[in-house]
Chain A
């Protein structure tokens, strides 16, 4: 049942993207996502498309895998297209009662859905090429300078680490409790909404109790291993920038500048 879900979509490898420092990848991804919104002309979209292709190539991931990342979100992509196609004023291509599709609408719809696809592909490249633990390290390190403004960088990272560790355990537990209650005749799938919510209690109550018990025991175990927050902590794996990180960041910045220039010059 629930354990069939495969979590964490990290795809091991040693491509250029895999070897990049997680901080570089996070920052580059953010910049790339912003630059997607700079594109407004066909030429700009062409450049963007080529850059995404280049990035996919550098990741050496199977094309099928990358395509699959769009699959869970295809409804949103289609919806984006439909909304734009119907709501943008312009010359009508098709009219029926109060519904009309315009040429500008179709054009706008295609471009908007393309943006979305780019966005999904680029961010999934990040998670495909970076293991969750390393990603967490990267986020902690990037947030660290914000600590003086009260951002609990270490605590956030520790929470993510523990969540990653316990999600499979809790899914297994959910599966087990669910089966136990089904064996006692519980029904989790029929009835109207309110009834269904009430029916979930025999699953949710034990699950919460178990999660709290685990949290409690984990806290004691962490304390026993001398955990006392982020102060003076060292790390087994230290993050280090390499020349390729400069190349990657430089590339993404160049792309952004090019797109910005195209936007202002109207190319």
Chain B
């Protein structure tokens, strides 16, 4: 069970003067249960790439297989399997349309032709997951909420489809740190409790490093690096710079400390472990 890309290329407006190759020759496999972060700057092709994962775009050449079914095949199975990949777009609150939060979250499940009891159950579950109290919010208008709450409703609308794979494109864009942390806590909870596969597209290296167990770095329509966050950030800085990717603040701090001869492991990524390392080192030195 996986999403598999085989030599996928995509060209916008082929055969016109505006022809632009957005991604070229990408092959990779995302296994069920992985938490993958895709990073790269605007125009690196990451948005084009993720739109292939649920068949919104079909490759100009190459294949995309979800659970071994080719998404480009015009069969009911292909259509059905595409629904197992949920997609949260950037600023998803802009896609809200219904009069009540219930109706909006129920839109996806109803399109799956579920009966109303099942729809209701899914809506309740999805709202609970994003931390919106069903009794309090279900019959309110989504348009009178705060920005952070509106985004949660939109995410609930995707979660209610109960996808096996969840793609999130910059889910924290424009939010303040409190709202950002809340959204990420919910995604992590979903990942842990539901065993859902998460594919997170982000500019934010801190988040990518903290949450994901695998990272893809994209530049100029290609996947330039693929590995564990620690490996990726410790890899060639030149390569990261060429990809227009900022290294996380944590890596910068660790580098700055090591530069001054403070000997802490290069692969420290969390505040807790850094604090522990510094204290341990301090104790060692004092003991001498």
Contact = CB atoms under 8 A, between A and B. Distances in A.
B86 A183 contact: yes
A184 B96 CA distance: 12
Interface string A141-183: 0000000000000000000000000000000010011011111
Interface string B1-42: 000000000001100101000000000000000000000000
A182 B86 CA distance: 11
B97 A206 contact: yes
B270 interface: no
Contacts, number: 57
Contact of B161 (A173, A177, A184): A184
A184 B158 contact: yes
Given A185-B112, A187-B111, A180 B89 contact: yes
A203 B192 CA distance: 33
B94 to A, nearest CB: 6
Interface in B152-168: 157-158, 161
B51 interface: yes
For the complex, would chain A's binding face be called helix, strand, loop or mixed by DSSP majority? helix
Contact of A206 (B83, B95, B112): B95
B83 A185 contact: yes
Give the contact-size bracket for chain A.
20 to 34
Contacts of B111: 184-187
A6 B95 CA distance: 25
Contacts of B107: 181, 184-186, 202
Interface of A: 4, 6, 173, 176-177, 179-187, 201-203, 205-206, 209-210
11 contacts: A6-B18, A180-B87, A180-B92, A181-B107, A183-B56, A183-B86, A186-B111, A201-B97, A202-B97, A206-B96, A210-B94
Interface of B: 12-13, 16, 18, 51, 54, 56, 83, 86-87, 89-90, 92, 94-98, 107-108, 111-112, 143, 157-158, 161
